[in-house]
Amino acid sequence: MVSTLFLLLLCLTGLPLIFHHEIDEALGYAPQPEAAAGVRPVPPQRIVEAALAADAGRVMQYISWDKDEPGLVLAFTNDAVDGKPDNATVRAFDAVSTRLLGPVGTGPMLIVLKLHTDMFAGQAGKLFLGGMGLLFAVAIVSGVVLYWPFTRRLSFATIRNNSSRRVGWLDWHNLIGVVTIAWALVVGLTGVVNTWAELMLAQWKSTELAAMVAPYAGKPPPAHLASLDDVVAQATKAAPGMEIAFIAYPGTPFTSSHHFAAFMRGDTPLTSRLLKPVLLDGETAAVADTRALPAYLQALLISQPLHFGDYGGLPLKIIWVALDVMTIVVIGSGLYLWLARRSRKAHAAAVRAEGAVALASR
Amino acid sequence: MTSRTDRSPRWLSVFGAPILVAALTLIGLLAALMLGDFGRYLSWVTVAIPVIICLWTWLRVRISS
């Protein structure tokens, strides 16, 4: 019962998130690049200078390039390189003019996103909702088991509309539930995997990343940082055929205290999700190491589009909304059927008790 | 007593269509990720099948009532 309410929360908040880009744009929270087709973007160090000028006294954490919006560069600044994510400021800059276009990740959709991912309770909230996702998967499996006794004498997609309202809703619950099993399991379980992102990242840092930076153990944080232009040039050379998705500054959670980490992406729908880190010396921008991410982080990266439904164009997003609404109907009708069954049982018990009293009084 | 040969077709009639829908949904979800534009178009058709089935059933129920 309680988990059903959290599942409803996840489905209801997930609904607007499917169109969060479009909603942000409509509400004016999505910065748009200035039209400069065919003009080469400025060297990335110029964007860094613009970002630090816009946020005096703070430091750079990350800089990222949106593959769908090449005219935009996002700069993440914070109080310290290892500052809390909630204290980070994300600003969009025009890739050609370096003009500040506005903040990113603000507005009402941020509240919906926080409700959907952690209910404003940080990592504990994330793990709790991940647990709800696992319960959702268990409920789906138990629904498959119950599908047989309820439908074995019926043809597929039978709705007994001439019976009671409860029977009609039971048939709809069974039909919608059974045809959305695969989608609901994929979206539910990929959502669970996403709640483990921080844990997976911590595991990667303590194993793979630690092995990558082991030869540089004991080196202090860079006295002066290499130019981002050199970092971009060296990283692109180290991963031919790939482009930079984002760069983590030394000391941030995605790298060591001495290295930049450039996360490279391919150009197909699949390889654009599978990032490859290139570690570069924080002072000289020399390539230190590069290797593919471990399987569990690749699974995390692939699980994200499968959860968000943002990888197949607008039609797939519309289908995602329809399937989400259908899941809400399944959860709501399941709740209704459960309450109806309880009230019928309570009524039957009351009738039995009355009968027993009548018999005893004869 | 129900023999094994009697049970199998009934099992298939109950779970056959849902298994087919689930398989097509999974193919569509992966196709959009792995097969470029063709996979994207394929996903629009296959992932929409559950929606189409429910819309078709809803129309059938409305017309019959």
Nearest CA-CA distance, residue B7 and chain A, Å: 10
How far from the centroid of its chain's Cα atoms is residue A127's Cα?
13
- A256-269 pLDDT per residue, tens: 889 999 999 998 88
- pLDDT value of residue A293: 92
Mean pLDDT for the stretch of residues A289-307: 93
- pLDDT value of residue A360: 66
Res A213 pLDDT > 90? no
Instruction: With beta carbons under 8 A apart, name residues in chain A contacting B18.
Output: 147, 156, 178-179, 181
Instruction: With beta carbons under 8 A apart, name residues in chain B contacting A181.
Output: 18, 22
The interface residues of chain A toward chain B in range 260-279, judged by CB-CB distance below 8 A, are 268-270, 273
Report pTM: 0.86
- A49-75 pLDDT per residue, tens: 999 999 989 999 999 998 888 889 999
- What span, in angstroms and rounded, lies between the C-alpha atoms of A254 and A277? 9
| Contact between A313 and B40 using a beta-carbon 8 Å cutoff | yes
Instruction: With beta carbons under 8 A apart, name residues in chain B contacting A175.
Output: 53-54, 57
Q: Which of the four pLDDT bands, split at 50, 70 and 90, describes residue A36? A: low
- pLDDT value of residue B9: 60
The domain segmentation of chain B, as residue ranges, is 4-64
Quick one: A97 exposed, middle or buried, by C-beta within 10 A (0-12, 13-18, 19+)? middle
| Residue from B10, B20, B42, B61 whose CB has the most chain A CBs within 10 Å, to mutate | B61
| Contact between A269 and B36 using a beta-carbon 8 Å cutoff | yes
- pLDDT value of residue A179: 97
Q: Which residue of chain B is at minimal alpha-carbon distance from A308?
A: B29
Mean pLDDT for the stretch of residues A109-131: 93
- pLDDT value of residue B36: 86
- What span, in angstroms and rounded, lies between the C-alpha atoms of A76 and A89? 6
| Contact between B54 and A161 using a beta-carbon 8 Å cutoff | no
Instruction: With beta carbons under 8 A apart, name residues in chain B contacting A269.
Output: 32-34, 36, 39-40
- pLDDT value of residue B4: 47
The proportion of chain A whose per-residue pLDDT surpasses 70, expressed as a percent, equals 97
Q: Which of the four pLDDT bands, split at 50, 70 and 90, describes residue A342? A: confident
- pLDDT value of residue B1: 40
Q: Which of the four pLDDT bands, split at 50, 70 and 90, describes residue A214? A: confident
| Contact between B18 and A178 using a beta-carbon 8 Å cutoff | yes
DSSP letter at A292?
Answer: P
Q: Does A149 touch chain B (CB under 8 A)?
A: no
- What span, in angstroms and rounded, lies between the C-alpha atoms of B54 and A176? 7
DSSP string computed for A150-183: HHTTS-TT---TTS-HHHHHHHHHHHHHHHTHHH
State which amino acid sits at residue A321.
Answer: V
Q: Which of the four pLDDT bands, split at 50, 70 and 90, describes residue A162? A: confident
- A308-317 pLDDT per residue, tens: 998 999 999 9
Instruction: With beta carbons under 8 A apart, name residues in chain A contacting B57.
Output: 157, 159, 175
DSSP letter at A70?
Answer: T
Measuring CA to CA, which residue among A127, A125, A294 is closest to residue A199?
A127
Of B14, B54, B65, the CB nearest to A176: B54
Q: What is the dihedral of CA A8, A14, A19, A25, to 10 degrees?
A: 100
Mean pLDDT for the stretch of residues A286-307: 93
In whole angstroms, how far apart are CA A227 and each of A57, A77, A89, A182?
19, 17, 21, 48
Q: Does B25 touch chain A (CB under 8 A)?
A: yes
Q: Does B50 touch chain A (CB under 8 A)?
A: yes
- pLDDT value of residue B7: 56
> Coil, strand, or helix at residue A329?
helix
Considering A99-103, A332-336, A338-342, B48-52, the range whose residues carry the highest mean pLDDT is: B48-52
What are the residues whose beta carbons fall under 8 Å from the beta carbon of A154, sequence distance 6 or more?
A: A160, A171
What are the residues whose beta carbons fall under 8 Å from the beta carbon of A229, sequence distance 6 or more?
A: A43, A44, A45
Q: Mean pLDDT across chain A, nearest whole number?
A: 90
Q: Does A325 touch chain B (CB under 8 A)?
A: no
Residue spans of chain B under pLDDT 70: 1-9
* ipTM higher than the 0.95 cut: no
Q: Which of the four pLDDT bands, split at 50, 70 and 90, describes residue A253? A: confident
